[in-house]
Structures are given as structure tokens and as C-alpha cells.
């Protein structure tokens, strides 16, 4: 896997780069702001770009804008946004803005290299990714006549993994069941929640996350 | 000088009155001016009488003015040739009366120059007038002591001997008459400023009166020299008519001005009964018939208008077109009024109106203070918000990065220790790593509590939906709102957060938040699933109040105005 890394903090950048190299992948560019990232992506065509959400000049959400630009201009390049915000709004914005193959990961994950590498692999593979911490927050939200109460335990597990952006195959592997079983569960829970299923993976994740956020 | 003039006027009027007494029971003889030149004489007498009546009425309306008295004196002196020749008057008095007539031009000049109220401004002008009076007095004396009509062959009126004459010089009469008349005309022409009059009937009349009077006096002077002043001749007759018209117009001017001032005083008195609608300036404009009236109040060393904004009262220029009147009460200047130059507002502003102005000044002062207070509250709130945002950013950028780096080094060191087979050390480092990660988690929550970054970045709607995810009650958020100033979004966010916290305390299970923008206000409405009494921390209302917004009485709704000037984002 060829990876480009963008983060204005040298410490963080080093950490990510070393984690990636440690797993045997190639870091083809290491930059400090969005402009340089876009140039590197255009020049070197990586498989995936890892972007900090907060970069110069305004230090707010430049990473999301960069992700949108990369996904629009280089559809083959996946983007993983690293953020210190456990903030569903940003994850939602990322998924809404960009047509798939994006992921939103909390920065602490840098410390879990396996999670980081796995996330990179998943977005390269075509999945959409939402950090489990955010999904936990979404599921933990208190709701009036909680519709989630109507789901069975299995269905709740499937819902959680769906929100994290896993494909049916990945969910099946995670839960050690057949893919067909997963499909049944999905149909059932979508029915119970009143959601319309969408064959397109990216839009399905978006629908679930948006529903959970309310 | 006023007192002196009044004495002079009184003297002349006394002579006039005394000399007129015989007229009451004696028919004027053929030597009077009316007999000599019926038309000119009648016009002169009628003009004089009209001016006299005008003067008397004006003196009644405006007792403080000196022009009515002067006008009366001028008329009395002016009519001297008419009554001085009556048969019943003692010869000595007749001579004095004729001498008095020569003071008429100077007094008329005085009236013309000081229309309409009799004030003469400027030392130089007063000195010039004094000189004119002295010269005229000299001529009058000359006439009294050097002219004996009995010995003058050109004498045209009652040519009796003059018992007061000490020498006999026939030309003295003509000379004195012409001299006095010329003096009078010169003074009027020199001292009246021939500038464009203010657009008021009175000043236009004043200019006309001065002009006609000057012309008349000049013509009469020439007539005195060329025709001996005999009104039977054409030139003197015309000149008498002209100057008579001037005197009459002067009388009309004084009367019009006196009446105008009285009417104005009535209007100003009526102002006191006007309801207090904070529009004293507009009412004063009406009362004074002056659209340029401006009132400025002194607040904290500055001049402000009735709205509290800076007042533009231009400094008084040299001319008399506009004046500034200071209104003082209890030794304190409370207001400054700009108005027409010919109004003496200090005198005409009654005590009741001063009280009204003082009330208005107090209202303006409190308005200004309130505005400054609100501005300062807004600044304080904005400054505190800015500090919190900076703190949140510092925590995230600085501390969090450092913690992650630390955790990463702990992890690396732990792995290295495990690889070397140092189990205990690996264990210790693993524990330290777990604590570092817990600290990271906590740090995130603290920073979020100080100021959620999503509020500044994405706005109130996103921030409230984020709040709903971790709220202690079931919160649903609906509606949208345009982006507001940071301080406003912060204040509304604080409102919802504290209301939710209170509701949770009261055991309410859930609430619905509706965001809307209507009527220039950004509105947040909270509907709890169960009605409870809610009391919020006063700081919530303070923050909203500082922005010109407020919390509803039931603490379930809050709004801010949408046009509040946005504070720069930090």
C-alpha cells in the first residue's frame, strides 16, 4: 500500500509514518498542509492519503475540505481523516461530501497500529469507515421511546458494525456468521427502524449514521 | 446708555405733550404744515400718528425694548414743525420745539439701525450713534440760539421772534436743518448692514424702513437747502412723504416684531402642556418657527443629541444668523440650543421649559449610560468566549498532541521491554500507557466542556445535535438557524445546556429543541416531556442580555437579535 501522510504536527506525523512503515507499507509523501498534500497526491498517486482534520491556515476543518478535493479529483485515492474530535457531525460531513472510500478515525488510534492499518486497508478496499468511539456515542444517545429497544441483541450488533462502515462480508467475518445471515438481520433491522435499504454501501452507512444522530 | 435714551425720549415727549395741549382747543392756523401743503402735511401727520400708536402698543407688549420709546420720541420730534407753529404756544417753547425737530433724524437713524428691538451691537456702532447725537444736538442748539425767524425773509411758517436767539444769522436755520438731516442719513447708510436679510417678514420690513428713511432724510436735507424746507414746494413735499413713509414702516416693523415675540412667547408657554414624547426638539422647531433648531445635551463631557449619538452643533460663526443658547439649571449646563440669531432664547425660555429640558437631558444621559453598559457587557462576554476558544484550541493543539506523543513513546518503550523479556517493566509501561490514554479521554471531555469546537466551526444546530448524543435526557433537535456571531451562538448553547441539566435534575425524561429564525430574531424553544418549574443560573440571562436578547419567563425559550454586530472570530 502506498500512503501519503499529512499533519502539521511533526510528532504526530512521525508516529503515523512509523506505524505504517512498521506494518510494511510505503509512505510516498509526508507533508504539513493541504496544499502540499494535494500536490503530492496529484504527482505520486498513492492508494490512500492520511489527513489530519485540523491544519493551517484556520486550524478548523481543512482536512475535510482536502478529503473532498482528493475524492473528487482522484477517485482512485482513498482518504482517511484523523481527528481529535469525537464528533459525529464531522464524520457525517465527510461521508456526505465525498463519494465513498473515506474514513473518519480518532487520532488516538495512532497508538493502535493494527486498527490504523486495518482502517487503511478497509478504505482502500472500498469501504467507508466511522471510528467505533463515535458509533458508541451514537448508540448511547438517549431517545424518546427508544426504537433501538425493538431490535434483538444480534440486530444491534449488526447495526453497530454497519454504522462503523463495515461491508456485509466484513460483518459476517467479525461475528462469525454467514453472509446470508447478516443480510437477513440487516433487512429486519431496517424494517424495524423504518429505514430504506440502499445497495450502495456508502449511502447505506450515511443513512444509518444520519438516523442514529437524529 | 439705554437709561440715558429713555430720559431723552421722556423729555421730548414731554415737550410734545405740553406743546400739543393748546392744539386740543385751538384750530391750527394757516401756518401749519397741513395748511401749507395739504397732501404732504396730512401724510406726514398720519404717518407720525400711526407710528406713535405702533410704538405705544409695542411698548405695552415688550416693555423691555427701547425701540418703542425711541420711535415715539422720533415721531414727536418729527412732528414738531406741525405743532410748533400753532398760535397758542409761547414763543420760547415754539423755538425749543423747532430745535427738537432737528434731533428727529438722529433718533430715526437710531431706530432704523437697531430694528426691531432697539439693541445696537458693537462698540463702534454705538460710538458712531453717539457722535451723530452730539452733532445733531449741536445743530439743534445752533438753530435755537442763532436763528430768529422774525428776521428771516425766507421764513415760511409762523415767523415769530425767537426770544432765545442770542445772535441773528438767517442761514442758521437752513444750515442746522440740512446738517441734522444729512447726519441722520449718513448714520443709517453707514451703520445698516445691507446684507441679504433673513427670510422673515420683520427683517425685510426693517431693511425697507431703513432704506426709505435714509432716502427721505436725504431728500429732505436737499429740500431744506434748495427750497428752505417749505413744504409748499415740490421737493420738500416729496421728501416729507418719503420720510413719513419710512417712519410709518419703521413703526410697522417694531409692531410686527413686538407682536411676533409675544406670539412666540405664547407658543413657548404652550409647549409646557405638550405630552412627554421625547420630541422637545420638534416642538421647539414649531414654537420658534425655525426648522434649524437643534438641541444638544451635555453628557459626560460630550455633546449628544436626543438619541444619544454625537451632536453636530457647529461653532457659532461671526454673523448673527444662528446663535447658541446655553440652558443652565442649578449651575450646571444641561443643554445647548442652536437657533435663529434674532431670538433671545435665554429670556424667552420659561422655567417650566427648562425643567422639561432637564428631564430630557436626564433621559438622554440614562440612555447613553445604558448603551455603554450594554456595549461593555457584550465586550466582556465576547472576551471571555474568545479566551475559552483559545483555551480549547491550546488544549487540543498543545496538550493533546503532547499526550499522544507521550503515549506513543510509552507504547514503543513497552514493546521494546517486552521484546527484551523484561516482563515487569513491560507491565509497568503498559499501565502507564493505559493511564495516558485515559488522560487523553478526559482531556477531550474537558476541552469539549470548555468550548465545543463544533460550535464555532459548524454552528449551533450541529453543536446541539452533538450535545444530544451525550445528554442526560433524550433530546431531539429540529430546525435550522443561520450562522450568528460567536458570542450569540455561545450564549444560546449555554442556555440549552443549562436548561437540559436542570431538566435532568428534575427527573424529566426528554425534551425537544426547536431552532428557528423569525422576525429578525434567532429563537430556541425547548419543550420538555413534562412541565416543570425551571430556574436557570443568572449567567445565562446575563449572556443573552449582553447581546440584546433575553430568556423567556418560563426559562424554556431564548432569543438573540440577528442584526447584532458580529464580533470578529478569534
Share of chain A above pLDDT 70, in %: 100
Specify the pTM. 0.63
Mean per-residue pLDDT, A155-182? 93
Which of 383-412 (B) contact A at CB < 8 A?
A: 393, 396-397, 400-402, 404-405, 407-408, 411
Any chain B CB within 8 A of the CB of A84?
yes
The full DSSP string for B125-158 is HHHHHHHHHHHHHHHHHHHHHH--GGG-TT--S-
pLDDT digits (tens, 9 = 90+) for A182-202: 999 999 999 999 888 888 888
Any chain A CB within 8 A of the CB of B153?
no
Q: Which residue has the cell 407710528?
A: B51
User: Measuring CA to CA, how many Å separate A207 from each of A163, A165, B204?
Assistant: 9, 11, 86
Q: Tell me how crowded residue B248 is: count the other CB atoms within 10 A of its CB.
A: 23
Q: How far off is chain A from B409, nearest CA to CA, in Å?
A: 9
Q: Is residue B464's pLDDT more than 80?
A: yes
Q: Tell me how crowded residue A199 is: count the other CB atoms within 10 A of its CB.
A: 6
Interface test mutation site (partner A, options B390, B401, B429, B476, max chain A beta carbons within 10 A): B401
User: Measuring CA to CA, how many Å separate B334 from each of B14, B293, B327?
Assistant: 48, 16, 6
For the record, the C-alpha cell of B270 comes out as 404652550
Separation of alpha carbons B556 and B496, rounded Å? 9
Contact across the interface for A12 and B404, Cβ inside 8 Å: yes
| A180 vs B395 pLDDT, higher one | A180
Interface test mutation site (partner B, options A144, A148, A163, A211, max chain B beta carbons within 10 A): A144
**Residues in a beta bridge with A130:** A104
Any chain B CB within 8 A of the CB of A109?
no
For the record, the C-alpha cell of A124 comes out as 482502500
Segment of A154-168, B82-96, B120-134, B163-177 carrying the highest mean pLDDT: A154-168
HSE on the CB side for B265, CA within 13 Å?
14
Taken as a whole, chain A contains a residue count of: 214
Q: Is A154 exposed, middle or buried (0-12, 13-18, 19+ CB in 10 A)?
A: middle
Separation of alpha carbons B265 and A75, rounded Å? 87
Per-residue model confidence (pLDDT) at position B568: 44
Q: Tell me how crowded residue B434 is: count the other CB atoms within 10 A of its CB.
A: 12
pLDDT-wise least confident of A94-108, A119-133, B290-304: B290-304
pLDDT digits (tens, 9 = 90+) for B333-391: 888 888 877 777 887 777 778 888 888 888 888 988 988 888 888 888 888 888 988 88
Who contacts B386 (Cβ-Cβ below 8 Å, separation ≥6)? Answer: B486, B567, B570
Nearest to B404 among A86, A87, A110 (CB): A110
| A105 vs B22 pLDDT, higher one | A105
Who contacts B273 (Cβ-Cβ below 8 Å, separation ≥6)? Answer: none
pLDDT digits (tens, 9 = 90+) for B195-220: 555 666 777 777 788 788 888 877 77
Q: How far off is chain B from A109, nearest CA to CA, in Å?
A: 10
Q: Is B182 exposed, middle or buried (0-12, 13-18, 19+ CB in 10 A)?
A: buried
Q: Are B290 and B340 in contact (CB under 8 A)?
A: yes
Q: Say whether B337 sits in a helix, a strand or coil.
A: strand
Helix H or strand E encompassing B513: strand B510-518
Q: What residues of chain A lie within 8 A of the CB of B469, using their CB?
A: 88, 137-138, 140-141, 213
| A200 vs B523 pLDDT, higher one | B523
Any chain B CB within 8 A of the CB of A57?
no
Which of 499-518 (B) contact A at CB < 8 A?
A: 509-510
Separation of alpha carbons B291 and B281, rounded Å? 10
Who contacts B93 (Cβ-Cβ below 8 Å, separation ≥6)? Answer: B15, B18, B19
Q: Is B296 exposed, middle or buried (0-12, 13-18, 19+ CB in 10 A)?
A: buried
Q: Is residue B314's pLDDT more than 80?
A: no
Q: Is residue B519's pLDDT more than 80?
A: yes
Any chain B CB within 8 A of the CB of A83?
no
Which chain B residue has its CA at the smallest distance from A93's CA?
Answer: B458
Q: Which residue has the cell 513491560?
A: B426
For the record, the C-alpha cell of B534 comes out as 425551571
Please report which confidence band the pLDDT of residue B156 belongs to, taking 50, 70 and 90 as the band edges. low
ipTM for the complex shown: 0.89
**Residues in a beta bridge with B188:** none
Q: What residues of chain A lie within 8 A of the CB of B393, using their CB?
A: 59
Q: What residues of chain A lie within 8 A of the CB of B411, using their CB?
A: 111
Q: Are B391 and B451 in contact (CB under 8 A)?
A: yes
Mean per-residue pLDDT, B488-501? 94
Q: Is residue B122's pLDDT more than 70?
A: yes
| Mean of all residue pLDDT scores within chain A | 91
Separation of alpha carbons A30 and B516, rounded Å? 45
Separation of alpha carbons B489 and B547, rounded Å? 11
The full DSSP string for chain A is -EEEEE-S-HHHHHHHHHHHHHTT-EEEEEESSHHHHHHHHHHH--SEEEEES--TTTSSSHHHHHHHHHHHH-TT-EEEEEES---HHHHHHHHHHS-SSEEEEEGGGGG-HHHHHHHHHHHHHT--EE-HHHHHHHHT---TT-GGGGS-HHHHHHHHHHHTT--HHHHHHHHTS-HHHHHHHHHHHHHHHTPPP-SSHHHHHHHHHHHHH-
Separation of alpha carbons B547 and A175, rounded Å? 54
Who contacts B29 (Cβ-Cβ below 8 Å, separation ≥6)? Answer: B35, B85, B86, B87, B158
Contact across the interface for B476 and A214, Cβ inside 8 Å: yes
Contact across the interface for B466 and A54, Cβ inside 8 Å: no
Share of chain B above pLDDT 90, in %: 18
Please report which confidence band the pLDDT of residue B21 belongs to, taking 50, 70 and 90 as the band edges. low
Per-residue model confidence (pLDDT) at position B245: 84
Number of inter-chain CB pairs under 8 A, A vs B: 84
Q: Are A82 and A50 in contact (CB under 8 A)?
A: yes
Which of 235-264 (B) contact A at CB < 8 A?
A: none
Q: Is residue B566's pLDDT more than 70?
A: no
Q: How far off is chain B from A121, nearest CA to CA, in Å?
A: 22
Q: Say whether B352 sits in a helix, a strand or coil.
A: helix
Which chain B residue has its CA at the smallest distance from A107's CA?
Answer: B404
For the record, the C-alpha cell of A87 comes out as 464528533
Any chain B CB within 8 A of the CB of A144?
yes
Interface test mutation site (partner A, options B403, B408, B464, B470, max chain A beta carbons within 10 A): B408
Closest by CA to B485, choosing from B565, B426, B556, is B565
Which chain B residue has its CA at the smallest distance from A54's CA?
Answer: B397
Q: How far off is chain A from B415, nearest CA to CA, in Å?
A: 12
Helix H or strand E encompassing B525: strand B521-528
Phi-psi map region of B520: left, alpha, beta (phi>0 left; psi -120 to 50 alpha): left
Per-residue model confidence (pLDDT) at position B1: 55
Amino acid at each position: 500500500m502506498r500512503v501519503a501522510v499529512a499533519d502539521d504536527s511533526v510528532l504526530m506525523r512521525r508516529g503515523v509514518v512509523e506505524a505504517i512503515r512498521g506494518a510494511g507499507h510505503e509512505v510516498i509523501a509526508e507533508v504539513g498542509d493541504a496544499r502540499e498534500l494535494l500536490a503530492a497526491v496529484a504527482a505520486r498517486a498513492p492508494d490512500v492519503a492520511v489527513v489530519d482534520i485540523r491544519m493551517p491556515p484556520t486550524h478548523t476543518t481543512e482536512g475535510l475540505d482536502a478529503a473532498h478535493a482528493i475524492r473528487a479529483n482522484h477517485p482512485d485515492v482513498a482518504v482517511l481523516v484523523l481527528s481529535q474530535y469525537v464528533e459525529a457531525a464531522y464524520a457525517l460531513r465527510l461521508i456526505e461530501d465525498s463519494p465513498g472510500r473515506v474514513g473518519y478515525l480518532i487520532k488516538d488510534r495512532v497508538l493502535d497500529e493494527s486498527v490504523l492499518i486495518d482502517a487503511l486497508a478497509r478504505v482502500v478496499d472500498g469501504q467507508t469507515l466511522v471510528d467505533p468511539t463515535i458509533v458508541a456515542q451514537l448508540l448511547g444517545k438517549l431517545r424518546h421511546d427508544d426504537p433501538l429497544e425493538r431490535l434483538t441483541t444480534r440486530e444491534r450488533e449488526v447495526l453497530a458494525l454497519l454504522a462503523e462502515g463495515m461491508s456485509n462480508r466484513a460483518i459476517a467475518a467479525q461475528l462469525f456468521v454467514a453472509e446470508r445471515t447478516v443480510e437477513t438481520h440487516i433487512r429486519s433491522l431496517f424494517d424495524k427502524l423504518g429505514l430504506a435499504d440502499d445497495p450502495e454501501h456508502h449511502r447505506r452507512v450515511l443513512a444509518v449514521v444520519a438516523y442514529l444522530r437524529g | 446708555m439705554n437709561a440715558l435714551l429713555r430720559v431723552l425720549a421722556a423729555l421730548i415727549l414731554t415737550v410734545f405733550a405740553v406743546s400739543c395741549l393748546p392744539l386740543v382747543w385751538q384750530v391750527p392756523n394757516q401756518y401749519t404744515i397741513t395748511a401749507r401743503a395739504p397732501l404732504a402735511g396730512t401724510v406726514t401727520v398720519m404717518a407720525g400718528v400711526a407710528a406713535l400708536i405702533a410704538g405705544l402698543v409695542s411698548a405695552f407688549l415688550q416693555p423691555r425694548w427701547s425701540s418703542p420709546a425711541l420711535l415715539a420720541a422720533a415721531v414727536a420730534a418729527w412732528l414738531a414743525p406741525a405743532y410748533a407753529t400753532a398760535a397758542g404756544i409761547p414763543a420760547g417753547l415754539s423755538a425749543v420745539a423747532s430745535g427738537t425737530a432737528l434731533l428727529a433724524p438722529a433718533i430715526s437713524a437710531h431706530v432704523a439701525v437697531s430694528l426691531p428691538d432697539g439693541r445696537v451691537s458693537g462698540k463702534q456702532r454705538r460710538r458712531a450713534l453717539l457722535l451723530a447725537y452730539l452733532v445733531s444736538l449741536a445743530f439743534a442748539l445752533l438753530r435755537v440760539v442763532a436763528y430768529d425767524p422774525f428776521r428771516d425773509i425766507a421764513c415760511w411758517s409762523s415767523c415769530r421772534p425767537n426770544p432765545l436767539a442770542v445772535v441773528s444769522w438767517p442761514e442758521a436755520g437752513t444750515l442746522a436743518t440740512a446738517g441734522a438731516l444729512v447726519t441722520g442719513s449718513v448714520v443709517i447708510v453707514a451703520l445698516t448692514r445691507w446684507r441679504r436679510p433673513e427670510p422673515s417678514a420683520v427683517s425685510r420690513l426693517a431693511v425697507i424702513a431703513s432704506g426709505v428713511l435714509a432716502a427721505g432724510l436725504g431728500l429732505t436735507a436737499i429740500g431744506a437747502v434748495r427750497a428752505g424746507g417749505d413744504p409748499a414746494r415740490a421737493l420738500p413735499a416729496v421728501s416729507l412723504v418719503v420720510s413719513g413713509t419710512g417712519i410709518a414702516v419703521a413703526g410697522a416693523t417694531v409692531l410686527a416684531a413686538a407682536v411676533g415675540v409675544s406670539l412666540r412667547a405664547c407658543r413657548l408657554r404652550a409647549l409646557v402642556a405638550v405630552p412627554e414624547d421625547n420630541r422637545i426638539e420638534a416642538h421647539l422647531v414649531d414654537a420658534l418657527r425655525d426648522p434649524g433648531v437643534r438641541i444638544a445635551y451635555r453628557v459626560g463631557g460630550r455633546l449628544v443629541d436626543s438619541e444619544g449619538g454625537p451632536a453636530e452643533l457647529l461653532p457659532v460663526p461671526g454673523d448673527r444668523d444662528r446663535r447658541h443658547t446655553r440652558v443652565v439649571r442649578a449651575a450646571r449646563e444641561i443643554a445647548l440650543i442652536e437657533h435663529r440669531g434674532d431670538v433671545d432664547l435665554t429670556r424667552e425660555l420659561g422655567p417650566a421649559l427648562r425643567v422639561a429640558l432637564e428631564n430630557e437631558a436626564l433621559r438622554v444621559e440614562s440612555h447613553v449610560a445604558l448603551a455603554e453598559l450594554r456595549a461593555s457587557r457584550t465586550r466582556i462576554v465576547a472576551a471571555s468566549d474568545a479566551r475559552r476558544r483559545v483555551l480549547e484550541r491550546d488544549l487540543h493543539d498543545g496538550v493533546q498532541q503532547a499526550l499522544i506523543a507521550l503515549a506513543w513513546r510509552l507504547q514503543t518503550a513497552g514493546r521494546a521491554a517486552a521484546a527484551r523479556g523484561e516482563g515487569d517493566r513491560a507491565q509497568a509501561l503498559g499501565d502507564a500507557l493505559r493511564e495516558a490514554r485515559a488522560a487523553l479521554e478526559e482531556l477531550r471531555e474537558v476541552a469539549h466542556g470548555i468550548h465545543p469546537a463544533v460550535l464555532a466551526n459548524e454552528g449551533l444546530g450541529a453543536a446541539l445535535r452533538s450535545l444530544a448524543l451525550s445528554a442526560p435526557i433524550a433530546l431531539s433537535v429540529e430546525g435550522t438557524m443561520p450562522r450568528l456571531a460567536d458570542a450569540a451562538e455561545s450564549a444560546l448553547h449555554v442556555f440549552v445546556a443549562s436548561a437540559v441539566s436542570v431538566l435532568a435534575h428534575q427527573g424529566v425524561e426528554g425534551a425537544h429543541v426547536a431552532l428557528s429564525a423569525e422576525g429578525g430574531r434567532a429563537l430556541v424553544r425547548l419543550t420538555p416531556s413534562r412541565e416543570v418549574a425551571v430556574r436557570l443560573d443568572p449567567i445565562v440571562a446575563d449572556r443573552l442580555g449582553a447581546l440584546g436578547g433575553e430568556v423567556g419567563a418560563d426559562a424554556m425559550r431564548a432569543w438573540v437579535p440577528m442584526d447584532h454586530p458580529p464580533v470578529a472570530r478569534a
